Amino acid sequence: MRIVVTGGAGFIGSHVVDAYVDAGHEVLVIDNLSTGNAKNMNATARLEQIDIRDAQAVAQVFASFRPHVVNHHAAQIDIRRSVEDPVFDAEVNVIGSVNLMQQAVRNRAEGFIFASSGGAIYGETPHPAVETAAKAPISPYGAAKAAVENYLFAYRKTFGLNSVVLRYANVYGPRQDPAGEAGVVSIFTSALIAGGGVTIFGSGYQVRDYVFVVDVARANLLARDRLFSDMQTPRNPDESAFNIGSGRATSVNALYEELAKIIPASIAAVHAKSRPGELMESRLDITRGHAVLGFSPRVKLADGLLQTVAWQKNTKGTSGTRTR
Ligand SMILES: NC(=O)c1ccc[n+]([C@@H]2O[C@H](COP(=O)([O-])OP(=O)(O)OC[C@H]3O[C@@H](n4cnc5c(N)ncnc54)[C@H](O)[C@@H]3O)[C@@H](O)[C@H]2O)c1
């Protein structure tokens, strides 16, 4: 099957490309390499270095490749940048996404998979959020993710484009750029390996769900299967959505302690004032993904951290090329 993976030179997208190539699919990557790196990419996938905002370039690529499935991971992922420049964020994350949907319909693609964010659209979750929980995005980045989910529902109703939305928890693992804005695991690992200290914003008791990137890549295989299953027409956007996480909450302090043990490092973390807008609790209920997609996370946090540390030690964490 021909699959376009946008953002396939990035952290998560490159693992998704690996999973699709291993499953025998023909993969074309669309990526402008703004945060991604061609070095991340599977050698058998082709790269078109274009911007998803460039409707004409996207149209040309789609017309010649004629994908059966579009898997959309390209995004402006920096929440703080979305606050500083919401228009840029919306241009990439909303308009860029609509460009792709438009071409998916024009070229009769059979389905669309979208990387959304469980951490950014539910707001505070004192209890693990189920897919139908109220949406309360507090950043333009989260608002854009919710908007694209709504667009996909409208595209299903209006143009018949099938879609599956994966709402990720905090994804971590090899190829995550420690110089980036997201990814506390990557940032802590890189600092500790370099023998430096780590700053924890706030008390460190804020909890997150950390999910290993290879588990996330497998969820994308299951999402592809779902597109070709006997899917009922969704009655609302949540019916196409699945939380993808570990189903466990871990505090930033506990994460730091685990990493310090693995590396090993003895410098105590320094605490700084918490950052405005940061959530205290972000937890996902992953029951629906298990029941409908057959997804369950396989990699335990300690094992995933070991693999992440090993990768950073080998590469000195130099996968990213930031060009913004
Ligand atoms: N990392 C996480 O924990 C997490 C959590 C929830 C959702 N997500 C989503 O998963 C997706 C992948 O995130 P990631 O962590 O791998 O980030 P990443 O920065 O490594 O990957 C994003 C990729 O998109 C490309 N890109 C950015 N703007 C583009 C544009 N205008 N045109 C073409 N390509 C462009 C970048 O070069 C990069 O390769 C994003 O949609 C992100 O919002 C990530």
Tell me, what CATH number does 277's domain have?
3.90.25.10
Q: How far is CA 81 from CA 86, 294, 296, in A?
A: 8, 35, 32
- Residues 256-274 have pLDDT tens digits of 999 999 999 888 899 999 9
How many separate domains does the chain show?
A: 2
Is residue 238 domain-shared with residue 265, that is, in the same domain? no
pLDDT band at 317; cut points 50, 70, 90: low
For residue 277, pLDDT beyond 90:
no
My answer on whether 56 and 88 are in the same domain is yes
Quick one: 85 and 63 in the same domain?
yes
> In the block, which residue shows the tokens 């579009």?
70
The per-residue pLDDT for range 104-145, each reduced to its tens digit, is 999 999 999 999 999 999 999 999 999 999 999 999 999 999
Pair (95, 228) in one structural domain: yes
Q: How far is CA 199 from CA 157, 272, 273, 287, in A?
A: 47, 7, 10, 34
Residue whose CB lies within 8 A of the most ligand 1 atoms, among 50, 58, 73, 181, for a mutation test: 73
- For 288-308, how does the pLDDT look when each residue is reduced to its tens digit (9 = 90+)? 999 999 999 999 999 999 999
The yes-or-no verdict on residue 318 having pLDDT over 70 is: no
290 within some domain: no
Instruction: Look up the domain containing 185 and give its range.
Output: 171-209+246-285+297-315
CA angle 309, 323, 2 (to 5 degrees): 75
pLDDT in tens, 39-90: 999 999 999 999 999 999 999 999 999 999 999 999 999 999 999 999 999 9
CATH number at residue 63: 3.40.50.720
Q: Is the pLDDT of residue 227 over 80?
A: yes
Pocket lined around ligand 1, Cβ cut-off 6 Å? 7, 9-13, 31-36, 51-53, 73-77, 92, 96, 115, 117, 168, 170-171, 182
Contact 207, 281 (CB under 8 A): yes
**Same domain as 271, residue 217:** no
pLDDT of residue 116: 98
